[in-house]
Amino acid sequence: MLLYNQVRPYEALRGETEECRQRWILRLSEDLKQGTRLSIHRMKNNFYRMAADFAQISRTGKKKQRIGIVGELYIKYCHMGNWNLVQTLLEEGCESHTNGLSWYALYYMDTHLAQADTFTAMLYRVGMRFFEGLQKEMIRALQKYHFYTLPEFSVLKKEAEGYVSYRDTIGDGWHGSCPRDRS
């Protein structure tokens, strides 16, 4: 999604970006169906291979307005939930940007740490280390091929200090206050 949304608005040969996306969906789907090539090492290698494939697509070089899509999961990632916003932005001559799912997962785990019992908090911390490692490698791959990306979650969190309250938690569109102050 990150790669597709950054290449599709600029492609010189219409349809080339979609062909690349479909090739990768097929490859990854087959790996999942067969239960093969699913290691973390392979996943990290795929970040670079995908970025390299999308980077090879000829682009016009014309600069377009980048519009960020924000909101809860259904709105950000589902075309039905956002009324085909990505397509609408394309038709209006814009580039859309939606951050990857790892930022959401890390934010979710981080905001739930304060409410979690000891065992659950340990699981959140393990999950966060896992996703942070994957996210860092994905960001490196995107940057290597000159694609835009948000900074890693820990950096983004530091940049948000003073603007975002860590007393609030999120969960599938619901919002509530955290009983303990984490600031």
Residue written as token pair 């608005």 = 9
Specify the pLDDT at position 142: 98
Q: Are 179 and 171 in contact, with CB atoms under 8 Å apart?
A: no
Q: Are 57 and 16 in contact, with CB atoms under 8 Å apart?
A: yes
Whether the per-residue pLDDT at 31 is higher than 90: the answer is: yes
What are the two backbone dihedrals, phi and then psi, of residue 20, each rounded to the nearest 5 degrees? -65, -45
Closest residue by Cα to residue 153 from 165, 167, 166, 139: 139
Average pLDDT over residues 149-169: 85
3-class SS at 17? helix
pTM of the model: 0.86
CA-derived radius of gyration, the chain: 18
Specify the pLDDT at position 108: 85
**Percentage of residues of the chain with pLDDT beyond 70:** 90
Specify the pLDDT at position 115: 83
pLDDT interval class at 167 (50, 70, 90): low
